[in-house]
Structure 1
């Protein structure tokens, strides 16, 4: 019996929005959400506190990895793509145009 492989999704969280004790449970929440949406969660990209008006470095790595692996889904916690120097709509557009990836936000 063969088991079908699920499509790949990646995670994205901002470490400045997590408590020290939240990191593991946040990744579990992303993994469970990915499974419920029919994806296998790969790497979770952790973003340090945003510093300036450029695209955040872990976000850039995320986009490149989505393109490389042809992954079309990103799972993140609600608000983790907001309140940065670059607006949320720009981040969503970059993921869509550059990687063909849609974002699924999980309520905290």
Structure 2
């Protein structure tokens, strides 16, 4: 019987990627190297307002539902939005006790 690995989810901003669909294998490899199984990679379109980004909200809800505690993202993908990076990290920490891993992929 194979043990199930803990889940991790990905979060990427499409405006910072060259081709959003070409990068799905890299987060899977990054998750595996951390001893995690990758669930969905949530893709955020370019930030447009001062509200919480929609894919980010979906990410938080899914991680809470699945009791996943690891979010993988690339450097700067939680930055440069109208909502401060620290606010996003606090939401991840307080709402669902997530650990955010910024990885290269």
For residues 26 and 2 of structure 2, what CA distance do their matches in structure 1 show?
A: 24
1:71 and 2:81 correspond:
no
For residues 69 and 94 of structure 1, what CA distance do their matches in structure 2 show?
A: 17
Out of 21, 26, 31, the position equivalent to 1:29 is: 26
Which runs of 5 or more residues in structure 1 are unaligned?
Answer: none
Q: What SS is found at the alignment partner of 1:3?
A: coil
How far 1:30 moved relative to its partner?
Answer: 1.1
1:97 and 2:94 correspond:
yes
Q: Which runs of 4+ in 1 moved over 6 A?
A: none
Which runs of 5 or more residues in structure 2 are unaligned?
Answer: none
How far 1:27 moved relative to its partner?
Answer: 2.1
1:5 alignment partner in structure 2: 4
2:15 alignment partner in structure 1: 16
Q: Matched residue pairs, number?
A: 105
TM-score (structure 1 length as normaliser): 0.92
TM-score (structure 2 length as normaliser): 0.95
For residues 76 and 93 of structure 2, what CA distance do their matches in structure 1 show?
A: 18
For residues 88 and 16 of structure 1, what CA distance do their matches in structure 2 show?
A: 16
The alignment yields a C-alpha RMSD, in angstroms, of 1.1
| Deviation sequence 1:29-84 (CA, Å, 0-9, x none) | 21111000000000000000001111100000000000000000000111111110
